[in-house]
Structure 1
Amino acid sequence: MVECTRRIEFDAGHRVIGHKHKCKHLHGHRYVLEITASSEELDDLGMVVDFGELKSVMKEWIDLNFDHNVILHADDENLGSFIANYTGQNIYYLKANPTAENIALHLKIDIIPKLFIKSSFQIIKIKLFETPNAFVEVM
Structure 2
Amino acid sequence: MELWKLSEKVSKVSDVIPYYFFSLVSSCLSLSTVMVIFTGGPSWGLPGIIIFSFYLVIPYLLFAVPVQVHFNKQPKKFSLIYFCLYILFSLLTVFIFSWVLNFDVSMDVLTTKNYYVLSLSAAIIFWFWDSVFLQK
Normalising by structure 1, report the TM-score: 0.30
More helix by share: 2
More strand by share: 1
Higher relative contact order (CA 8 A, sep 6+): 2
